[in-house]
Amino acid sequence: MPWPRRYPAGCARGRAGSCQREPKMSELSQHTYEANGIRMHTAEQGDGPPVILCHGFPELWYSWRHQLPAIADAGFRAIAPDMRGYGETDAPPRIEDYAHEQICADMLGLLDAIGEQRAVFVGHDWGGAIVWALALHYPERVRAVAGVNTPFAPAGPTSPAEARNANPGRWDYQLYFQDPGVAEAELEADVERTFRLTFRSSDPADGFDVLAGSHDVRARGGWLAGYPADAPRSVMLSAEELDYFVQTFRRTGFRGGLNWYRNQEVNWRWARTVADPKIERQALMVTAGKDPILTPDLASHMEQWIPQLSRGHIEQSAHWTQQEAPEALNRILVDWLRSLPATR
Contact present, 53 and 62 (Cβ < 8 Å): no
Residue 330 contacts residue 282 (beta carbons within 8 Å):
no
Show me where the domains of the chain are located. 18-339
Cα separation of the two ends of the chain: 33
Q: Strand 12-13 relative to strand 19-20: parallel, antiparallel, unpaired? A: antiparallel
Catalytic site includes residue 176: no
What's the pTM?
A: 0.93
Per-residue pLDDT of the chain (344 residues; tens, 9 = 90+): 555 544 333 333 333 333 344 444 438 999 999 999 999 999 999 999 999 999 999 999 999 999 999 999 999 999 999 999 999 999 999 999 999 999 999 999 999 999 999 999 999 999 999 999 999 999 999 999 999 999 999 999 999 888 888 999 999 999 999 999 999 999 999 999 999 999 999 999 999 999 999 999 999 999 999 999 999 999 999 999 999 999 999 999 999 999 999 999 999 999 999 999 999 999 999 999 999 999 999 999 999 999 999 999 999 999 999 999 999 999 999 999 999 998 76
- Greatest CA separation found in the chain? 53
Number of helices followed by number of strands (H, E) in the chain:
13, 10
Tell me if residue 261 is catalytic. yes
| Rounded distance between C-alpha atoms, residue 185 and residue 212, angstroms | 22
Helix (H, G, I), strand (E, B) or coil at 267: helix
Q: Are 258 and 176 in contact (CB under 8 A)?
A: no
Q: What is the CA radius of gyration of the chain?
A: 19
Q: Give catalytic status of residue 31 as yes or no.
A: no
Q: How far apart are CA 5 and CA 9, in angstroms?
A: 9
| Selected catalytic residue, list 97, 125, 206, 209 | 125
CATH class of the 18-339 domain in this structure: alpha beta
Q: How far apart are CA 84 and CA 230, in angstroms?
A: 31
